[in-house]
Amino acid sequence: MLMTLSQITARLGGEVRGADVSVCALAPAAEATAEHITFLANPKYRSEVQNSAAGAIIVSEKNAGDLHGRNLIVAADPYLYFAQVARLFHPAPAARAGVHATAVIDPSATVPPSCEIGANVVIGAGAVLGEGCRILAGSVVGEHCTLGAQCVLHPNVTLYCGCTLGERVTIHSGAVIGADGFGLAFAGDHWLKIPQTGGVVIGDDAEIGANTTIDCGAMGDTVIGRGVKIDNQVQIAHNCHIGNHTAIAACVGISGSVKIGAYCLIGGAAMFVGHIEIADKTSIGGGTVVTRSIKEAGHYASCYPLQSHKEWAKNAVHLRRLSEMYEKIKDLSKHRD
């Protein structure tokens, strides 16, 4: 695919400066050649972009002066514009309508002819798929699941019974949606499993990463809001509610019945204890253990600072006697006064 800069701005807005050259793809500044378009969003990369052989550059009005004499598309938010151009060059593949000969579809399931059903897919009794869904090789759609239009299950996804997906939900390989929550009652000398009878409800345009797990509710549902983006290997326990458009990086663990607000940013490997609430637009640093509700939006953190092992070992000893140190200081202050 070859597009001129003006063909791009006709679709996405922005303003062409310099020659209206043709480009065939995006590329990082360091690797781009004359047929590529690249972008300058973070000023840290200014000189790398200045030295780039790219045929054209996406840049903000503010930084356009740094690229004097180059062919530009000037846009309000170059990073967002870059994303939009990438989507022009790489539109999501449409469903290749049809059912593979090896797929196993229960006669009571509803699968529109516009859907792509891959090899060895299994679709359970009473499941209902919307138009244009892509269910790829080896995925299992449990009984009575409902999928909106244009959902994509990559290979080897598992949906337990009774999951409800909105439209355009994408789930990556190895993800497991709707497994039993970890509900146990202690019966004197052993654990009694509490049947997990709720479902999982996932909103429109949500995306779920590879090998992520989202458990069904104990009673009532686990709810993933509209436009929520979840990375790989995230664990979301029973009865959590994740607010609309919240983004959750990889390796995060969220205990049962946590309510996270809308537009939150959750850093990688953050962990949440159960039964807490996080305000809208809260940002949590990577590796943070969230031990209590957060009522005020802001940026929160709790990770232990990195040191050489030798320095760390020296300090860690004293961390174990911090309260002792505190008392000592108090005592010293008293004597001085």
Task: Pick the binder of a second copy from 63, 207, 223, 278 (CB under 8 A).
Answer: 207
Q: Which parts of 236-265 interact with a second copy (CB under 8 A)?
A: 237, 245, 247, 249-251, 253, 255
Task: Pick the binder of a second copy from 12, 53, 273, 279 (CB under 8 A).
Answer: 273
- Indicate which residue of 36, 154, 238, 245 is catalytic: 238
C-alpha angle with apex 240: 235 to 241, nearest 5 degrees? 120
Give the number of C-alpha atoms closer than 13 A to the C-alpha of residue 329, restricted to the C-beta side.
6
Task: Count other C-beta atoms under 10 Å from residue 144's C-beta.
Answer: 17
Query: Is 172 a catalytic site residue?
Result: no
Nearer Cβ to a second copy, position 69 or 308? 308
Nearer Cβ to a second copy, position 167 or 215? 215
* 3-class SS of residue 236: strand
Is 180 one of the binding residues for a second copy (CB under 8 A)?
yes
Task: Count other C-beta atoms under 10 Å from residue 170's C-beta.
Answer: 20
Is 213 one of the binding residues for a second copy (CB under 8 A)?
yes
- Tell me the torsion sign for CA atoms 289, 293, 184, 236: negative
Q: Which parts of 75-104 interact with a second copy (CB under 8 A)?
A: 77, 79-80, 82-84, 86-87, 89-90, 92, 100, 102, 104
Nearer Cβ to a second copy, position 20 or 120? 120
Cα 44 versus chain centre, distance? 25
Nearer Cβ to a second copy, position 20 or 35? 35
Task: Pick the binder of a second copy from 48, 210, 279, 281 (CB under 8 A).
Answer: 210
The sheet with strand 222-224 has its strands ordered as 128-129, 146-147, 163-165, 200-202, 222-224, 241-242, 259-260, 277-278
Active site (catalytic) residues: 238
